[in-house]
Structure 1
């Protein structure tokens, strides 16, 4: 079971303490039932409760209360600690995993698992502890039932055995429904995220808005049907418990007096014990859908964790240590480098093979139409996409999976699909004045301020957000800068600043600057221009050529 695998992560001493007090609470609860039954029997015979009975009852209650409180609180502490560690592990594995692996998991699935399923586990685990106590109580009650009437004990076991057959059939269908629920919840979450992130596009296109609304409604109704079906299984479990209870009681009441000799004297004791045993079992059965859902959610979490763990990753300290072998590089080379999104399909669109050498202190522009492979080539060059064939080298050092994270430490980038962080993570030592000077240089004074370790405003135009991303990249001060269509959303002044001021400044500092661009009139700024088409290099020319002839040739 996934739950057992999950609990193995807890400290053994904590688990033993929780289980020990759970056992004590269960036994104390059973003692209370026995005392109450004995006292009721004595009262029915005209005898008042004895002082001993009062003392045993009070002592058992105090022990039950204290042990139960400790076991529940300890269980919550254990599960919250395990869930926190699980969330941190998934976040860490996600951060270190390969980009394609993380993208393949899907945002909706990750959000649903890390937030929703872990919260469900947090709520369910105390119920599991209570169920364990109920099973201990049931065990003691069955011993007492065996003492009162071995025949009644056999009937109870037979009833439970028959009920277990029905339970397994219901449980199997319920587990299948839960798997479908998880997948549909992830798809519904994806649609919600599309509605949130695509707010502008949807408000400008009524047809698109209506289509995504229809898609969301379709998935919501499908999820509703699945959840209703899951409730149907829950109702079936409750009815199964009721059916087993009344069938057994009917047998005891109607058959025992006529055909079972010697049972009439204890039948009034048997009925409450049987009711109690079946009631305890029925409550646990009624809660079992929550346990099954927790088990299914935990299995999904562990599956995602295993998927992420297959992607090799190293710690930030290891990455920085591995980066030292590349820090003094003079040239980066792509050697027959090729990548395709579908490694299993030889006919799938691919970029490469690429054979290029990029020198430190050089400015290289990648140009070409949309879909020509420029952005993919940058992801290959930076090590974000794994090569299907060929290799990358920095000087004479081959980039391998073992040192890939260190190689990536060479790059600062602003990709087309960049994410803007509100904090300068990893740059906490930077003085606010230095950041605000760059904000002023980027023309953002009055629109955003850096204070208390964060930007106070991110709700800006795309071009302004790109300037904030540029500030973060400049502050990193890496040897290689990658700018993917950075100038596309800039006005004339900042486009000119980018090409005629910023890029030459970085080149003068000895940086390798790699830019994808459609701005043909600025191609002359580059030392070399690489034209791509259909994933291949069509030509490589000097940037100065474009100062001597009309653009576009």
Structure 2
């Protein structure tokens, strides 16, 4: 049953606290069942004039235990669940940041974001699971009381319970694929709205593209999502009606059949217990859909949080600090480096290499070539984002694994992401930062305030300048730029090539820039031309 499965998931995260919650739930559930007995007995004692001190104490005491037990168990369940979610989401974040770029490029971003958004349903489902467990115990105690009053009535009730459970189980089996479909449709919808928001300019420019996305992709998903949700609501409604119908059937059997066999007082007591039990039964079966949704959300989060490499599963360090020993170098060598993208079916993917290149510290190297020649892939291999299939890297003659030395590089990729603060720098030198903003001629558009940039809503060219500022604040020995000057005006483009790059070289930095600006090739020490994933030409400026 979904209830037990969900509680098992929580128990994995915090076994001791979940055991305590279960103990409290048992006390609370039994107290809920005892209340109906105490109410009936106390009422009879009052009507017969046999009201005692025990009646005065027990009913309020058990009621207090019920209320306090429910409050404590629900609060503790919420705390345990939120703690578990915190650990799981931290593991997801840790898993993502430890993953390699090829893995992340294959991930469905909308799926990850949607799963984290749906985490809010997990706590609600956990609380309802505990509440449902308590109400099941209350129903069990009520059933025992009915057995004590009449074994025949008890057997009738016990006979109907398997029918209800089998019917509800069948209903849940029908609901399971609907829940999965609903989650898939929500992810598709989330993806499409990402396209609409991220590609707003392109959609606004192209009416056919706009109409196609809206009419042939967005609108068709909505009826499917609607139908899945309506079917879920209908199934849930059927479950509630089934429970209600069974309660009325049992009440009818009690009134019209058992009344011929037992004294009317017994019949009234059984009827009272049945009517009282209808509320916890409704609570249990109403909670099942939410519990199922919460369980599905939790399982998805667990799936995302599973580490691929046990060596760093519990580690929050990206690399061992002692490995970060290279602060400067004389030369970096690429020897027969090859990389290949995963292909589709039997067709091989695009490949780069073999590439061999010697990079001297303090050089300015331009990488040029046509679209699809492998320039961007090459720089991702160079800075350790793509692991080579073969070949070796050497720093000052020593073979190295470039993924362990990514800290050598500051980058501004063509598809860069602009952060609103300077992560990883620690104490920010605000004087240096202000100077760089002035140098990049964006000091009037953005400034440093309260530990972050005042805005990142800038023009394309200004965003690249701010990304360059952030890269320079890291003060790494190697700077990599991918088509950095593409969005710059002629004045700043010239300034970049003829003033900024030489100043970086003067500071001892190595600059590797992907560019098509042949007008400024004279500012580079060497020009590397790529074609079909290989270096086709290597030119050195004198």
TM-score by length of 1: 0.90
Residue 492 in structure 1 maps to residue 490 in structure 2: yes
SS at match of 1:483: strand
Name 2:12's counterpart in structure 1.
8
Give distance in 2, aligned partners of 1:321 and 1:219: 52
Q: Which residue of the partner structure matches residue 32 of structure 2?
A: 29
Match of 2:238 among 236, 261, 264: 236
Q: Distance in 2 between matches of 1:191 and 1:394?
A: 45
Q: For 2:132 and 2:338, how far apart are their aligned partners in 1?
A: 58
Matches within 5 A, 1:120-159: 120-159=121-160
Compute the displacement of 1:449 (Å).
Answer: 1.1
Structure 2 match to 1:349: 350
Asked if the contact 2:95–2:306 (Cα under 8 Å) also holds between the matched residues in 1, the reply is: no
Partner in structure 1 of residue 68 of structure 2: 66
Secondary structure class of the residue paired with 2:116:
helix
| Correspondence for 1:431 among 426, 429, 451 | 429
Query: Are the counterparts in 2 of residues 432 and 451 from structure 1 also a CA contact under 8 Å?
Result: no
- 1: CA distance, partners of 2:451 / 2:74: 40
Distance in 2, matches of 1:104 and 1:17, equals 42
Q: Does 1:289 align with 2:292?
A: no
Question: Is the deviation greater in 49-58 or in 463-472?
Answer: 49-58
1-structure distance, mates of 2:274, 2:469: 74
For residue 442 of structure 2, the aligned residue among 432, 441, 444 is 444
State the 1:523 CA deviation: 1.9
1:178-220 deviations in whole A, cap 9, x for unaligned?
1111111111111112222222222222222222322222223
Q: Distance in 1 between matches of 2:80 and 2:467?
A: 41
**Which moves more between the two structures, 30-39 or 477-486?**
30-39
Do the aligned partners of 1:326 and 1:407 also contact (CA within 8 Å) in 2? Answer: no
Residue 205 of structure 2 corresponds to which residue in structure 1?
204
* Cα distance, 1:11–1:432 mapped onto 2, change above 3 Å: farther
**C-alpha distance in 1, partners of 2:52/2:162?**
39
Give the Å deviation of 1:336. Answer: 3.2
Aligned-residue Cα RMSD (Å) equals 2.5
C-alpha distance in 1 between matches for 2:242 and 2:327: 68
Partners of 1:340 and 1:350 within 8 A in 2: yes
What is the distance in 1 between the residues matched to 2:357 and 2:7?
52
User: Residues 317, 389 of structure 1: CA spacing in aligned structure 2 closer, same or farther, 3 A cutoff?
Assistant: closer
What do residues 59-82 of structure 1 show as CA deviations (whole Å, max 9, x unaligned)? 112222222222222222222222
Identify if the C-alpha distance between structure 1 residues 87 and 528 changes in structure 2 by more than 3 Å, giving closer, same or farther: same
Conserved 8 A contact 1:149-1:263: no
Alignment of 1:251-270 (within 5 A): 251-256=253-258, 266-270=266-270
Q: SS of the residue aligned with 1:266?
A: helix
Q: 1:167-188: per-residue Cα shift (whole Å, max 9, x none)? A: 1211112111111111111111
Report the 3-state secondary structure (helix = DSSP H, G, I; strand = E; otherwise coil) of the residue aligned with 2:84. Answer: helix
Partners of 2:344 and 2:477 in 1: CA distance: 32
Correspondence 1:318-467 to 2 at 5 A: 318-325=319-326, 327-328=328-329, 330-342=331-343, 345-400=346-401, 405-467=403-465
Tell me, in whole angstroms, the C-alpha distance in 2 between the residues paired with 1:272 and 1:386.
Answer: 72
Do structure 1's residue 19 and structure 2's residue 17 form an aligned pair? no
Q: Alpha-carbon deviation of 1:465?
A: 0.5
Match of 1:107 among 83, 106, 109: 109
Residues 501 and 39 from structure 1, CA distance in 2 versus in 1: closer, same or farther, beyond 3 angstroms? same
- For 1:15 and 1:405, how far apart are their aligned partners in 2? 41
User: What is the Cα deviation at residue 232 of structure 1?
Assistant: 1.9
Whether the aligned pair in 1 keeps the contact of 2:331 and 2:358 (CA below 8 Å) is: no
Separation in structure 2 between the aligned mates of residue 397 and residue 275 of structure 1, nearest angstrom:
81
Cα distance in 1 for partners of 2:43, 2:257 equals 25
Change over 3 Å in CA distance of 1:351–1:405 after alignment to 2: closer
Match of 2:162 in 1: 161
- Relative to the length of structure 2, the TM-score reads 0.92
Indicate how the Cα distance of structure 1 residues 143 and 112 shifts in structure 2: closer, same or farther if over 3 A, else same.
Answer: same
User: How much does 1:263 deviate?
Assistant: 7.5
Q: Secondary structure, in 3 states, of the residue corresponding to 1:147? A: helix
Aligned pairs (5 A) from 1:271-310: 271-306=271-306
Aligned to 1:191: 192
From the superposition, tell whether residues 112 and 317 of structure 1 become closer, same or farther in structure 2 (CA, over 3 Å): closer
Partner of 2:226: 224
**Aligned counterparts of 2:268 and 2:244: Cα–Cα separation in 1:** 20
Partner secondary structure for residue 364 of structure 1: strand
8 Å CA contact retained: 2:332, 2:393: no
For the structure 1 residues 3 and 319, does the alpha-carbon distance in structure 2 shift closer, same or farther, using more than 3 Å as the test? farther
CA contact (8 A) 2:14 2:84 kept: yes
Deviation at 1:284? Answer: 0.4
Distance apart, 1:432 and its partner CA? 1.6
Distance 1:492 1:319 in 2: 44
Q: In the TM superposition, what whole-angstrom CA distance separates every residue of 1:211-234 from its partner, at most 9, and x where no partner exists?
A: 232222222332222212221221
CA distance in 2, matches of 1:236, 1:511: 71
